[in-house]
Structure 1
Amino acid sequence: MSLRQSFAAVLQMLRQSKGNTQRSMASSLDQTTISKVESGKHSVTLDVGQKLAAALDLELTALIALAVSRDSNRTPREILLTSLAQLEALELADTNQPSEAGSKLPLNVVSAREKWQAVQELKDQGLTQSEARKKLDMPESTVRRLWHLKREN
């Protein structure tokens, strides 16, 4: 079964279990769109998915978790716990994300900040530049530059 078909089945099941008709959900979407999604003839964008979830009084993640659960033959709990573990591994589970896509720092800036932080931590621990270089396996010139660099906001 495709994810589109799983989403369609979950949407129809949820709508019916809540006693809603396609027409009653059509306040923010037209009934034709809902019908096409439920029949699996139409894929949804995230915006449409959000509107459908709101009409069902659900978070979009709950609706998607149910659809992925059905498609992958795993429980919604397994889907959500796996997703949470992945977000925690990325250290993003407890952070608010920027609202604008362009506000993310380039990877080279992130890497440079991490190197600076590592050097400063070793400096604060009382290590010498030579000891920090060996511990971090960085070139001497890089450690020397980062050792004296003051962080700019």
Structure 2
Amino acid sequence: MSLKKEIAGAIRAIRTIRGVDYGDLADVIAKSSIGNLEQGRHSITLEKLIELSNSLEFDTVALLTLCVAIQNGEPTDTTLKRARAQLDSFRAEGGEELFRSQFVGKDLKKRSPGKPGNTKNAEAVRELKASGLSQAEAAEKLGLARSTVHRYWQV
């Protein structure tokens, strides 16, 4: 999902409403870069977008909400309601707690090397194994690759 055009329009509108010219943003982004950004010719990193939002005194989440709403052709309230519902669901599933546990202060915890396992799939495979299904049957029932089922089967 590229938001290049939407970000261009949002930055242009916010900058205009705030009465900010290119020179006022020179400490964050070069004048030529802001011009190219506002024309939709360049993308922007998330870090730079946050800096630019701060310089424009406009919340980054609000800026992204505007962009996603335009891209989806919907009012910003609809975009925010959907995001709120997803956040509520994520929290109810323990996702927010799990997310916060990934940090020590503001530093990301190191994780063991390799691809992290999917605990839900692993548990589903173990349940099907206990119920007497074969690995092939478990793979078909869960829609997983046989190699994935085999890996979970061995644990």
Query: Quick check: TM above 0.5?
Result: yes
Structure 1: 4+ residue segments shifted above 6 A:
none
1:99-149 deviations in Å (ceiling 9; x for gaps) = 4274499345x55xxx7xxxxxxxxxxxxxxxxxxxx88849xxxxxxxxx
**Which structure 2 segments of 5+ residues have no match?**
132-155
* TM-score normalized by the length of structure 2: 0.61
2:74 aligned with 1:74: yes
Query: C-alpha deviations, 1:76-113, integer Å up to 9, x for none?
Result: 221122112112222245764634274499345x55xx
Letter in 2 for 1:50: I
TM-score by length of 1: 0.62
Cα distance 1:82–1:35, how it changes in 2: closer, same or farther (>3 A)?
Answer: same
Identity of aligned residues (%): 23
User: Among 93, 100, 104, which residue is 2:108 paired with?
Assistant: 100
**Quick check: 1:57 aligned with 2:57?**
yes
Q: Distance in 1 between matches of 2:39 and 2:80?
A: 26
3-state secondary structure, aligned to 1:90: helix
CA distance in 1, matches of 2:88, 2:129: 28
Q: How far, CA to CA, are the matches of 1:101 and 1:30 in structure 2?
A: 35
RMSD over aligned Cα atoms: 3.0
Larger Rg computed on CA atoms: 1
* Distance (whole Å) between structure 1 residues aligned to residue 72 and residue 55 of structure 2: 25
2:17, 2:46 → 1: CA distance? 23
Helix, strand or coil at the partner of 1:42:
coil
